[in-house]
Amino acid sequence: MPGADYGFGRAVSEIVGGFTISLVVRAFAYSFGLPWMSVLFNVFSIFMTIGLIEVMPFWSISYLMGWLVGLIYIGPIFLNLPELLLYFGITLLVLYRKFSG
């Protein structure tokens, strides 16, 4: 099972990648007069976040710790506060369940 370094790398790459793709989609949508595409992308992002949360319980503790460190390191730069708190809270909840059960 991949360790903390892989969890850290995944957190950084997903946060930066998601931010970059979001900027590109929004710029494309508004430059071509398709604001509905931005809304569609937001709905897609919500489903991807749910998918991420669903697989977190299967990650190892060290991977989750790496993910958490990556989230703390790069998250405040690229995520808004509600997203940051959501990812942080879910990660802590999954870690708590792993340690307690």
| Each residue's pLDDT tens digit, 54-81 | 999 999 999 999 999 999 999 999 999 9
Nearest alpha carbon to residue 73 among 8, 6, 3: 8
**What is the pLDDT, as a whole number, of residue 64?**
95
Both tokens of 17, joined, read 């990648």
The answer to whether residue 13 scores a pLDDT higher than 70 is: yes
Mean pLDDT of 34-41: 89
Mean pLDDT of 3-32: 93
pTM listed for this prediction: 0.86
Confidence of residue 83 (pLDDT cuts 50, 70, 90): very high
